[in-house]
Chains A and B, each alone.
Chain A
Amino acid sequence: EPEVTQTPSHQVTQMGQEVILRCVPISNHLYFYWYRQILGQKVEFLVSFYNNEISEKSEIFDDQFSVERPDGSNFTLKIRSTKLEDSAMYFCASSDGRYNEQFFGPGTRLTVL
């Protein structure tokens, strides 16, 4: 069964460093999303991406964040200068858009020291 994959599973970085989180969505999906979950809190929407552009973003997704689909299979989230409060589990999701049924990857746990 096709699934969303994410790498790395765990990333540790120093405050101020740039990180890139990678996702491979399900191959025939056209809508891509990033969410995050701070430990013990709700899953929060960050950004949605369709047709090579951002379709919606949350207040969390400020100028420090960017997304890219560099090729036909990868979807990346970049945080330019990480802060302590960026420590969270980051989930990628994809959908074929038919009923907005979103399938999530296993997540990347980002720890900012």
Chain B
Amino acid sequence: SQQGEEDPQALSIQEGENATMNCSYKTSINNLQWYRQNSGRGLVHLILIRSNEREKHSGRLRVTLDTSKKSSSLLITASRAADTASYFCATDGIQGAQKLVFGQGTRLTINP
């Protein structure tokens, strides 16, 4: 399976600090996407990184992808209380538009 697995499962930091979450997967991918989910709510698309990209930025988010290690990281800089949420990585295969396989997620808590 292509399963993405996030690490750590839970992370608690102080407001203003940086938060780093990691994701590992098992098989070759086409793209890797990161999503945020506030408790009991919908999935908000954060960023997509293609398999031929190594790093991507969007605002306070920085995503890296290492296909040789089958891993990705999501860095949130200068965290805010509103960043408190669960963060998921999702991978897809190499044959065009198809299903996403999600990891278990990292629960991030930003303490004021």
Q: Which residues of A contact B (CB under 8 A)?
A: 31, 33, 35, 42-45, 48, 50, 55-56, 58, 89, 91, 93, 95, 97, 99-107, 109
B25-49 contact mask (Cβ, 8 Å, vs A): 1 or 0: 0000011010100001111110010
Contacts of B42 in A (CB 8 A): 91, 104-107
Min distance, Cβ A79 to any Cβ of chain B, angstroms: 19
CA distance A109 to B39 in the complex (A): 13
Contacts of A95 in B (CB 8 A): 97
Using A105-B42, A106-B41, A107-B42 as known contacts, list a sample of 15 further A-B pairs with CB atoms less than 8 Å apart, ordered by residue number in A: A31-B97, A33-B100, A43-B102, A45-B101, A55-B97, A55-B98, A58-B99, A91-B43, A97-B96, A100-B30, A100-B92, A101-B31, A101-B45, A102-B100, A106-B42
Query: Do B48 and A101 have beta carbons less than 8 Å apart?
Result: yes
Contacts of A109 in B (CB 8 A): 40
Q: Which residue on A lies nearest to B35, using beta carbons? A: A104
Q: Which of A35, A56, A89, A104 is close to B45, meaning CB atoms less than 8 Å apart?
A: A104
Instruction: Please list 15 pairs of residues, one from A and one from B, whose beta carbons are closer than 8 Å in the complex, sorted by A's number.
Output: A42-B104, A42-B105, A43-B43, A43-B102, A44-B102, A55-B97, A56-B99, A97-B97, A100-B100, A101-B48, A104-B42, A105-B42, A106-B41, A107-B41, A109-B40
With contacts A43-B88, A91-B43, A107-B42 known, is A48 near B33, CB below 8 A? no
Q: Which of A45, A55, A97, A105 is close to B100, meaning CB atoms less than 8 Å apart?
A: A45
Q: Which 7 interchain pairs have the tightest Cβ spacing?
A: A106-B42, A45-B99, A104-B43, A43-B102, A97-B97, A100-B97, A31-B97
Min distance, Cβ A7 to any Cβ of chain B, angstroms: 13
Min distance, Cβ B45 to any Cβ of chain A, angstroms: 5
